[in-house]
Structure 1
Amino acid sequence: MEMNPSRYRLHENIPFGSKKIVLIVQSGQMGKFDEEGAEGERKLYDQLEASLVEEKIGVCRFDFPDRVNRRESISDEEYRDRASRLSAIYQRIKTAHPACGLTFIGMSLGANLVLEKLQSVTSPSSAVLIGLYVDEPVTVTEQVEAISLVYGSEDYIAFGENISLANLIAPAKYSQTVRSCINSVAPVETSILKGLGHSLNPMNSEAEGPIARLVRLVGGGKSIHE
């Protein structure tokens, strides 16, 4: 029997007195919020949630509709299903917590979904987009207060079929393309974290922990304690 695609779980961890909520939008390698996902992905979210809640910032995580094959590119229908789920969660959070600011954290495909949602948000919002790649113009609404692009320094991309080391493009370069495609009245900040991979997993001995940086970005580009 097929699972009802309209049913999902929403995990909320919102401390008393929270004035901000972070909505985590996982990669295409995750369907349920408690699956492992890409390398180190669930561990990253677990650690990030614990750090944010310590700072009295609420966290929401939710189930996406399942995909037929996560090893293949997502189909248009599956993408629309995920975008629809994100819109439903966004409306629920804004209705249930109207006094709270909202920050999206999107990973990979999740970052693309968030960027699309930023074109229609109707209340003040910000976003931290991890591992995002776009090469076509996107205009976000004036309700978007800040966008942070975050990449691991070892998250290389390449185009074509016969890929060699010479074809690899470093995030320091392709992030400039991404930045140029985002039309926003709000500032767009780029962070490249040393020694980390696509899902901000450590790749070498020089890797820096991403949690403190992500918490700072959620706090509006400065230490939350300031």
Structure 2
Amino acid sequence: MDLAFVLYPNLTALDLIGPYEVLGHQPDVTVHFVAETRQPVTADAGLIITPTVTFDELDRADVIVVPGTGTWRDPLEAGVVTAWLRRVHPTATWTTSVCTGSTLLAAAGILTGRPATTHWAVRDALAGLGAVVSTDRVVRDGSVVTAAGVSAGIDMALTLVGLIWGDDRAKFTQLVIEYAPEPPYDAGSPETAPAGMVAFARSAVGGFPS
């Protein structure tokens, strides 16, 4: 099974690494890190990732994972990722996104009229791109699975493991990575965080609408 993890400048590293750690250790998978070129790609906090294949070289994958970025308008305007998604999505078994990666799926026409989720600060933008926006942490519609902000990529990947390899394999994976979150604060969503903090976060997170 071919897994394609999409790379582009300033992607959010955990959007990529969370699903990779969950999916990359499953049986009989081949992982591809796909980008416009084979030159190293720098994530938004400085992590450098080396692609293994280019968009021109990879014309199909069983599973596609598209991470997000705080500067999500940039890859939308560049159009390189969306052009590749239009080409490979029709033959993929699963097409997925994490955080603002859903805006790239939407721009490629994959989410038109479909339920999907994204980072809370980009819900209006995703709706403007034609998706039916949900506030759920993980949303599945047919062969498309979207995750909310950043850390939700782990939930999405575990959901996908359950769909592909079965619930027991997903539970085993959850146990092995000791995914039993007990955050020290209850401020992980705009519904639970103080209103003033939500307003500050909207203005502070680069690239997101205020």
Q: TM-score higher than 0.5 here?
A: no
* Structure whose CA Rg is larger: 1
- Decide which structure has greater helix share: 2
TM-score of the aligned structures, taking structure 1 as reference length:
0.42
TM-score of the aligned structures, taking structure 2 as reference length:
0.44
